[in-house]
Chain A
């Protein structure tokens, strides 16, 4: 079981905004990162650090953090954003992933 907790599922209307959260004690010490996972594909890093996007990731993806919670916001969700999203961070032993959130774009 994971030490990072996420809501199992959220839905968002096309073009609207959705926020996904991830909670865990390790996030008080380390930044979280976010990965998009589509069926049959490798996970894709979408947000890392304070609020950084790798090259090629649309600017509708943004991140924030406060206390033991890190968040991923998709502003103006597109059909192609439908996927599972996992947070991740360091812990005392190495790394841990969140329980995952399934995002459905309606």
Chain B
């Protein structure tokens, strides 16, 4: 049974860097893509970016200048960094398994609030 779990600070100060980690169990982080997706309060889902176990990445163009996704195959984890955050980055952040067009398993999500 594939399970994903996000972890990281729930509060980040304006202009600082948001950092989250997704721990994967029940599946090897190799052989497929893994993604970060977020949902601001009252808004739609937004794809942030994806990473393959080789380190190949693709990012949402609207966030590309501020986003970095990395993978640690030894720990079966992948991570998100979003720099220079503002209140607009307040959202529930989800990690998900990306089977190249579908997201079939998701973490429960973690709320990150950006505040001064």
| Interface, chain A (partner B; CB < 8 A) | 2, 30-31, 33, 35, 37, 41-45, 48-49, 54, 86, 88-90, 93-100
Which single member of A41, A44, A93, A100 contacts B44 (CB below 8 Å)? Answer: A100
Bound Cα distance A65, B101 (Å): 16
B20 to chain A, nearest CB (A): 15
Give the number of residues in B that approach A within 8 Å (Cβ atoms). 22
B91 to chain A, nearest CB (A): 13
List the A residue with the shortest CB-CB distance to B48. A94
Tell whether, in the assembled complex, residue B109 and residue A86 are in contact, meaning their CB atoms are under 8 Å apart.
no
New A-B contacts (7) at CB < 8 Å, excluding given A93-B59, A93-B61: A33-B103, A42-B106, A45-B102, A88-B102, A89-B101, A90-B101, A100-B45
| Interface, chain B (partner A; CB < 8 A) | 35, 37, 39, 44-47, 49-50, 58-61, 94, 101-104, 106-109
Tell whether, in the assembled complex, residue B94 and residue A93 are in contact, meaning their CB atoms are under 8 Å apart.
no
Tell whether, in the assembled complex, residue A31 and residue B50 are in contact, meaning their CB atoms are under 8 Å apart.
no
B45 to chain A, nearest CB (A): 4
Tell whether, in the assembled complex, residue B108 and residue A42 are in contact, meaning their CB atoms are under 8 Å apart.
yes
Bound Cα distance A31, B102 (Å): 10
Tell whether, in the assembled complex, residue A45 and residue B104 are in contact, meaning their CB atoms are under 8 Å apart.
yes
Please list the 3 inter-chain residue pairs (A to B) with the smallest Cβ-Cβ separation, ordered nearest first: A42-B106, A97-B45, A95-B47
List the B residue with the shortest CB-CB distance to A4. B44
The listed residue with most A CB atoms (<10 A of its CB), out of B35, B50, B103, is: B103
Q: A42-B107, A93-B60, A97-B45 are in contact. Are A33 and B94 (CB under 8 A)?
A: no
Bound Cα distance A19, B47 (Å): 25
List the A residue with the shortest CB-CB distance to B45. A97
Which single member of A33, A37, A94, A96 contacts B50 (CB below 8 Å)? Answer: A94
Tell whether, in the assembled complex, residue B106 and residue A31 are in contact, meaning their CB atoms are under 8 Å apart.
no
The listed residue with most B CB atoms (<10 A of its CB), out of A86, A89, A97, A98, is: A97
